[in-house]
Structure 1
Amino acid sequence: MTILIRWDERQAFDAVAQWFDVPDSEWGARAVSSNFLIYETVRAGGFNPRLTHASMPPRTISEKDFDPIVQFIDNQRGTVLTREERLDILRLHAYFRFKGEAYANESIISLLGRGMVAVKQVWTEYTNSTTVTEAKVAANYDSHATRIEDTRYDQQLIRDFVRERLLQRQRTVAHDVMMFLHAHNLVDFDPANKKSMSSCLRIVGFAIYLLSEKNSPMRAEYTQSMMANLNSLEPRPVVYLDESYIHQHYARDELSLYDPNDEQDLQVKAMAEGSRHDEGILAVDIFEGGSRGQKETKDYHGMFDHQYFAIWFSALLDQLDAFGVYNSLIVLDNAKYHKTLPPGTPHSGMLKAEMQSACLSIGIPFDHSDLKPALWAKLMHHVQTNVEPEIFLMAKARGH
């Protein structure tokens, strides 16, 4: 026996049960919607025990109860939609669009808590292909769409092309690779069409480097100073300094630009005149990364700061003394840890009272009503014109 009763009329069930003369213990109830209940007898396959007023779910919940439920759902379900979840989104698309809903996407987002991109992708995929597939996991494990076929033949062809240009001491850039691929019918574009070539270059991969207005005068100053040293009667030895690193588990699939085990792919270095201090490793250090906190990368880039560089640079100066190299010009790049100023140098993070004290000790006139930006402008000019980096002072103290 089955009885359908509205939630707000469930008090009438007692009268109905007495009419059929069925004991309360043989009735079970289940909710079929937010408005109706079904009561069934146990003999008809109903649910037992009977639903009491205390256990009935509330019709509405407050915002205080709603937020934890939404948070629980977000924590439990995955970020990648399964095919079944995408089908549910498609079902809602069909329903809202059939009802003439003007904002179908927004309604689905409000109901399911999914992103706009995912909701739109489901409808776009179905309208284009009349099917819905499972979303691809965001990882780099699968093959990606490309305009160049990823085959062993193509790889060998490009590798031989680059090797041949290396032997001829020719520089290879993305444009050269692109034209080579076009000549072998591996990519299709119109060389006379600038837009088509730009599109192909984006696929091949390229970068544009322009000399900035700031670097141009610095490069000119460096060139003039080096030419003056070379043209002098007693030119000073020049030591080019740069830091490099090798990973403990070095492999061709990580950071190398060529396979170090492939003898054919080793880049041949041209013969150069002049003395070279390459009889051995001048200064070496072994880094155990990640020892200063969880946010630190476990490699050379995360560990090599000014403190490490000062120790490394001191060892380099010792090696230059051992080689008999004195009064040299040491050329190094613009890395941040090369330019660290000595301890106690005024900086922009100082308190106003500390800046005033620094101005007094240096002899810079100021007014007590000056704000921090005005004080720092005066101190910064003094620092830029009079204070040298700590590395420079170390080199000068050793006669370089």
Structure 2
Amino acid sequence: MLLGRGIKTVQSVWSEYCDQKELTIAQTPSNKSSHVTRIPRSKAVMTLVLEFIREHRLNRASVVAKDVLALLVEHKRMKVDMTNEKHRAAALRVTQLFLARCGFKRGTQKGVSYGISAELAVKRDRYIRYISTQLQLSTPRTIVYIDESYIHHHYSRHNNSIYHPDDTASVPKKAKNKGRRLYFIAAIMSGGESDPKLLGLEIFEGGNRQPKDYHAMFTSEFFLEWFADLLDEIDKLQKYGVIFAMDNAKYHRTKPPDTPRGSMKKSDLMAACKDYGLDFDGVPTKPVVWASLKDFISRNIPAEVEKMATERGHVVAWTPPYHSDLQPIELIWSDVKGKVGRQYTATTSFEDVRRRLDSAFDELPSRTIYNCITHTENMVKEMNKYLEQLDEADDDAEESGDALSSDEVSDNSESDFKNIE
């Protein structure tokens, strides 16, 4: 039936209408109407519960329905006689139902990321403000994104392969080890839809004793030599005022050889402080001397790579820690390694992996590079808009006398990046 009712029901209603020329309005079923709930479904209550749960989870504390019930009672959002066991049990069931209907779940939250400190948030905001400003110029500056990665012998990407859940015999045996590694370093350059390029690609194999952290395979000497070649390549392309975006890897931030180190004697550190104009009251201990000296060095002595870039008229921008999503070259790594991994079989040799890796880089379309860079830069612009909205909200709050506390974000100057750790 079109009305969604049985024939007898329709006949009965029609007969009633024919006899009385009017219809009796049936009462709405109790399970179809809105009821007054003990816990208000207001935005204020949801915000209260969300902030309470978030605060406890960030401190690695467990949160259960009893904790939420106590919160609601404490903030007078729910009236409960906590001394009465039956009332308390009924209120707990109501709280559990409220949490379930609001979408809360129990267990380990998947896909979570590291919480960042206020200091890292400032570094992130500085980077976003700076890059966004450069992208909004009438003639945007060229940005070169630099990164390193690796792929091991038995790397496979078969997560889209067809299988039958009941066929356990088709489950492949897990490799006994990941095998040897191939390391690679490269850069991608923005420049519009027709000019994105892969630059400075270098692939090499590690030694017999390979470290767990692949970054240990890259040294400052190797990186500085590679960066010098990259600068020459940039000059040949006649690109000037380039921004080199790279992460905070130790070998990226190597200071000049004559920079004081914490392993030096206290007398040598004191002499360095005197040269830099740092004074102390009384007789400080070596840790105090080194702490002041280290802070001065990080703020005033540029890394070797920064000096090399500045001498050619370029600048280095340090991407904030734990924000690999701000590096479009990470998407290139995923694309290239995916092409290699999807070709893996049990008979794949290490030489096959090297050949497929070379082929994947050789056949990398410029359109893919352009799309990866555009995706990331659009995300940076959106994040910058969000930061501006937060600033406007803070200004409005200050005008109303109810200002929200916020960290200062420095201006969009290139000098910011010389001071970021």
Shorter-chain TM-score range: 0.3 to 0.5
Bigger Cα Rg: 1
Superposition TM-score, scaled by structure 1 size:
0.40
Superposition TM-score, scaled by structure 2 size:
0.39
Higher relative contact order (CA 8 A, sep 6+): 2
